[in-house]
Amino acid sequence: MTEKSRYLEGVEKKDLFAHGHRACGGCGQALAARLVHDAAGENTIACVATGCLEVFSSPYPDPSWRIPFLHSLFENSAAVASGVEAAYKALGKGPVNIIAQGGDGSTADIGFQSISGMFERGHNVLYVCYDNEAYMNTGVQRSSFTPYGARTTTTPTGNRTRKKNLPMIAADHGIPYVATATVDDFRDLQQKVKKALSIEGPKYIHILAPCPLGWGHHGELTVQVCRLAKDTGLFPIFEIVDGKLTNVRKIPVKVPVEEYLKLQGRFKHLFKRGVPAKEVAEIQEIANENIERFNL
Amino acid sequence: MLKQIEGSHAVAEVVSYCRPNVISAYPITPQTHIVEELASIVGRGDLDAEFVNVESEFSAASVVLGASAAGARAYTATTSQGLMLMSEVIYCIAGMRLPIVLTCANRAISAPLSIWNDQQDSMAVRDAGWIQLHAEDNQEASDLHIQAFKIAEQTFLPTMVCMDGFILTHAFEPVDIPEQKEVDAFLPAFKPKHIVDPRWPRGIGLFADPRFYMETRYILHRALEKSQEVIKEVSADFAKVFGRESGGFIKTYKLKEADLVIVSMGSVVGTIKELIDKLEEEGKKVGLLQICSYRPFPRKEVYNALKDKTNITVLEKCISLGRGGILASDIRWSFPRAEKKERNISSFVAGLGGRNISIDDLRYMVEKVEKEPVEFGFLGLRKELIAEKDM
Ligand SMILES: Cc1ncc(C[n+]2csc(CCOP(=O)(O)OP(=O)(O)O)c2C)c(N)n1
Ligand code: SF4
Ligand SMILES: [Mg+2]
């Protein structure tokens, strides 16, 4: 078995989110959307928020979706999905997989209230957040998921706040399933989607989806960037099932954050003449805290 | 069956007979009694529907959007700040051609905060692509809901039934409430056109670049214009089946002989009719033109009703700040350009934020415009509260 075929073993490939979309090369979100929906299968309704995914996949008259796709606004995909679910219940239709989804901005900022409402009401909906750590569709502005130190067009000297911790907030709603994933591990991501969809009630999967354009890395490095995000401890991989933290991915060999940061243009200003700025130590501190908190 | 009943409860009962599959709403005065009553109807099992208690009006509108896109008959109710919060979704619902029915318990908009009635809220979304029907009393409010579902589902246009907050929603009046089987016979089951369903995968809510966007707006505009036929048909049908006139485009009262016509909409027409009767006894011929369908605007009907009239005054509970009367502009637009000069069309704003419109206020208006037309004015303003510099 070649390395590639081992890598792809057991990975569902149905092209339900088909080629022909207009994402940038190496877009983590496009890859994530494909993996999510191929894992979910044909019997799925995608409720998508405004953002890069929607824009690169749903221009009239040629959308890239082979499953039903519903988009209305930027901040309401969770509420729209709640309505779809209510309709299916009321009409006695289904079962069907309903996947509400959006970028970090629509999930953690403007749509935060609507997602909290969906969780709290207990709708049988999976919410997937494609986290590329900024508002990419409007040209890389800061969101509450933008990491400390990162440069965006609205944080030109580097972001001064830490990332909002939505997986924990989701879990604190008492929902039965929360997981994090990245696009470098196809199998893990798809297993989490399948597991989530097998559970009744609201579910949340948070996917780190690197954006070559906004992060300033080469498109072919998207998978490697994900790996480093995990191996530095900056993006912990875990599941929270019925409130209990499980399946925490152990880091095989811990990597200093510098290696992750140096691959990306958005952190370039932290390494003037190759010397790490004091922010780098702060970012290492964040990674260390994660390592300790999740026992990575 | 004739019942002495609160307006909100009458509406809730009638809505339940329309068998919505999904109801979602957020509480706001004076809409609350409608949704509370619906919740209890669903709660006691008299209506088989999903009642989704959301965290905001924005989500209420989004829930009914999703439900309608999945093929459900969906209903919501709101007012004022709630409608403002919904407004982004309101536009979207129309653009997506989802035949949702919404009750607007008309109320003023902040600031200052006011829970009392005027019609600024529904006016603020008049251009969104919804059909807007205005009720005169609680009988009409109930009847219009039955018609609204039928009109919406035939035209694939969302439909808003506007009823004055408190004045109607909280008033106890006798209302003839039809039976379930009568409503069933009048209102067929909803047959959606495009739905999200894995059996027929399709995209709903795609984005349109400049090659396509404008046509969608043209088609929506034409759909609203064409819905006039359906509104007419449904209200005529309703009259045949239920034996009373409700809805339609316009209604008139003692218009034929009138030397002066008052144009208005909503519950204030009750007081206007009272004044008309009084003035008749005094030998003055005043008539009423009442707008029921505000959107689509019945331009032709308005013109036909007013073409022989020279003296017209428009009374409305809303204002385009910095401009003037909104309904008045619509009325002025209803005449061909050449005919405008020969007419005196006065415009008055009244009753904002629940200010009572008394019969004396109306009499004052009539006497004033009899002397000379008023381009634009406020009626019932307490001038003593306004500093000289603010006048
Ligand atoms: C109410 C509203 N505000 C702002 C926008 C503009 N807008 C569209 S997409 C977007 C950013 C999307 O960011 P995110 O959700 O992170 O998705 P991404 O594009 O990064 O995948 C913004 C600000 C909008 N469409 N609607
Ligand atoms: S800007 Fe980023 S998120 Fe958007 S399509 Fe390009 S790579 Fe993907
Ligand atoms: Mg983003």
Interface touch A83/B206, C-beta < 8 Å: no
pLDDT above 70 for A176: yes
What is the percentage of chain A residues whose pLDDT exceeds 70?
100
Tell me how far the alpha carbon of residue A54 lies from the centroid of ligand 1, in angstroms: 10
C-beta separation of A105 from A51 below 8 A: yes
> pLDDT of B342-376, one tens digit each?
789 999 999 999 999 999 999 999 999 999 999 99
CATH code of the domain in which B187 resides: 3.40.50.970
State the number of CA atoms in the 13 A half-sphere of B154 facing the CB. 20
Residue B105 to residue B275: CA distance in whole angstroms: 25
Mutate to test the interface with A, among B22, B54, B62, B212 (most CBs of A within 10 A): B62
pLDDT at site B340: 63
Nearest to A270 by CA among A257, A279, A282, A259: A279
CB atoms within 10 A of CB A274: 6
Pair type for strands B377-378 and B50-53: unpaired
Return the residue of B nearest to A16 by Cα.
Answer: B201
The per-residue pLDDT string of chain B (391 residues; one tens digit each, 9 = 90 and over) reads 899 999 999 999 999 999 999 999 999 999 999 999 999 999 999 999 999 999 999 999 999 999 999 999 999 999 999 999 999 999 999 999 999 999 999 999 999 999 999 999 999 999 999 999 999 999 999 999 999 999 999 999 999 999 999 999 999 999 999 999 999 999 999 999 999 999 999 999 999 999 999 999 999 999 999 999 999 999 999 999 999 999 999 999 999 999 999 999 999 999 999 999 999 999 999 999 999 999 999 999 999 999 999 999 999 999 999 999 999 999 999 998 777 667 899 999 999 999 999 999 999 999 999 999 999 999 999 999 999 999 9
CATH code of the domain in which B334 resides: 3.40.50.920
Regarding whether B255 and B364 lie in a shared domain, the answer is yes
**What beta strand segments (E) does B238-332 contain?**
250-253, 260-264, 286-291, 293-295, 311-316
Sort out which chain A residues have CB atoms less than 8 A from B64's CB and list them. Answer: 83
Return the residue of B nearest to A55 by Cα.
Answer: B207
Interface touch A87/B68, C-beta < 8 Å: yes
Hey, what CATH topology would domain A3-294 get?
A: Rossmann fold (3.40.50)
Interface touch B67/A45, C-beta < 8 Å: no
pLDDT above 80 for A19: no
Residue A34 to residue A28: CA distance in whole angstroms: 10
Nearest to B374 by CA among B338, B339, B350: B350
Sort out which chain A residues have CB atoms less than 8 A from B200's CB and list them. Answer: 68
> pLDDT of B96-110, one tens digit each?
999 999 999 999 999
Regarding whether B215 and B152 lie in a shared domain, the answer is yes
Rounded to the nearest angstrom, the minimum Cα separation between A102 and chain B is 15
Sort out which chain A residues have CB atoms less than 8 A from B49's CB and list them. Answer: 90
Hey, is the C-beta of B199 within 8 angstroms of any chain A C-beta?
Answer: no
Of B22, B65, B205, the CB nearest to A90: B22
Regarding whether B163 and B37 lie in a shared domain, the answer is yes
Residue B286 to residue B272: CA distance in whole angstroms: 10
pLDDT at site B338: 74
Residue A260 to residue A267: CA distance in whole angstroms: 9
Range of the domain at B217: 2-242
Amino acid at B246: S
pLDDT above 80 for A57: yes
Nearest to B289 by CA among B308, B264, B267: B264
Sort out which chain B residues have CB atoms less than 8 A from A87's CB and list them. Answer: 21-22, 50, 66-68, 70-72, 74
Hey, is the C-beta of B328 within 8 angstroms of any chain A C-beta?
Answer: no
Q: In what order do the strands lie in the sheet with A203-208?
A: A244-246, A239-241, A177-182, A203-208, A126-131, A97-103, A44-48, A69-71, B203-204
Nearest to B158 by CA among B169, B167, B166, B149: B149
pLDDT above 80 for A51: yes
Pair type for strands A271-272 and A275-276: antiparallel
pLDDT at site A274: 86
Regarding whether B332 and B292 lie in a shared domain, the answer is yes
Q: Where are the domains of chain A?
A: 3-294
Regarding whether B98 and B123 lie in a shared domain, the answer is yes
User: pLDDT grade, residue A1 (50/70/90)?
Assistant: low
User: pLDDT grade, residue A245 (50/70/90)?
Assistant: very high
Interface touch B205/A71, C-beta < 8 Å: yes
pLDDT at site A134: 98
Ligand nearest to C-alpha A132: 3
Return the residue of B nearest to A41 by Cα.
Answer: B198
DSSP for B13-25, please give it. HHHHHT--SEEEE
Q: Is A106 in the pocket of ligand 1 (CB under 6 A)?
A: yes
Residue B104 to residue A138: CA distance in whole angstroms: 35
Those residues whose C-beta lies under 8 Å from the C-beta of residue B193, and which sit 6 or more positions away, are: B156
Three-class secondary structure assignment of B297-324: CCHHHHHHHHCCCCEEEEEECCCECCCE
Rounded to the nearest angstrom, the minimum Cα separation between A69 and chain B is 5
Q: Is A51 in the pocket of ligand 1 (CB under 6 A)?
A: yes
Nearest to A230 by CA among A210, A244, A249: A249
Interface touch B62/A90, C-beta < 8 Å: no
pLDDT at site A18: 82
C-beta separation of A194 from A14 below 8 A: no
Regarding whether B255 and B199 lie in a shared domain, the answer is no
Nearest to A108 by CA among A159, A156, A58, A168: A168
Number of domains forming the structure of chain B: 2
> pLDDT of A99-141, one tens digit each?
999 999 999 999 999 999 999 999 999 999 999 999 999 999 9
ipTM: 0.96
**Cα B295 versus chain centre, distance:** 8
Interface touch A117/B212, C-beta < 8 Å: no
Residue B251 to residue B235: CA distance in whole angstroms: 12
Q: Is A136 in the pocket of ligand 1 (CB under 6 A)?
A: yes
DSSP for B6-72, please give it. EHHHHHHHHHHHT--SEEEE---TTTHHHHHHHHHHHHTTSS--EEEE-SSHHHHHHHHHHHHHTT-
How many Cβ pairs within 8 Å bridge chains A and B?
Answer: 166
**Chain A: residues touching B (Cβ < 8 Å):** 42-45, 47, 54-55, 58-61, 63, 65-73, 75-76, 79-91, 93, 96, 113-114, 116-117, 120-121
- Helix, coil or strand: residue B218: helix
Report the nearest atom of ligand 1 relative to the CA of A135: 13
The first and second tokens of residue B22, run together, are: 């999904």
Residue A147 to residue A133: CA distance in whole angstroms: 7
Task: Look at residues B242, B276, B299 and tell me which one is the last residue of a structural domain.
Answer: B242
Regarding whether B261 and B214 lie in a shared domain, the answer is no
Going B211 to B216 to B221 to B222, the CA torsion angle's sign is: positive
Interface touch B66/A80, C-beta < 8 Å: yes
Interface touch B198/A88, C-beta < 8 Å: no
Q: pTM for this one? A: 0.97
Regarding whether B181 and B257 lie in a shared domain, the answer is no
Amino acid at A277: A
Task: Look at residues B184, B219, B242 and tell me which one is the last residue of a structural domain.
Answer: B242
Residue A57 to residue B235: CA distance in whole angstroms: 43
Task: Look at residues B213, B242, B271 and tell me which one is the last residue of a structural domain.
Answer: B242
Regarding whether B234 and B105 lie in a shared domain, the answer is yes
Tell me how far the alpha carbon of residue A272 lies from the centroid of ligand 3, in angstroms: 27
The first and second tokens of residue B35, run together, are: 């949704």
Regarding whether B55 and B74 lie in a shared domain, the answer is yes
Regarding whether B138 and B26 lie in a shared domain, the answer is yes
Ligand nearest to C-alpha A210: 2
Q: Is A56 in the pocket of ligand 2 (CB under 6 A)?
A: yes
Of B89, B96, B201, the CB nearest to A76: B89
Residue A184 to residue A228: CA distance in whole angstroms: 10
Regarding whether B258 and B225 lie in a shared domain, the answer is no
- Helix, coil or strand: residue B105: strand
The first and second tokens of residue B184, run together, are: 């069933």
Sort out which chain A residues have CB atoms less than 8 A from B59's CB and list them. Answer: 76, 79, 82, 113-114, 117
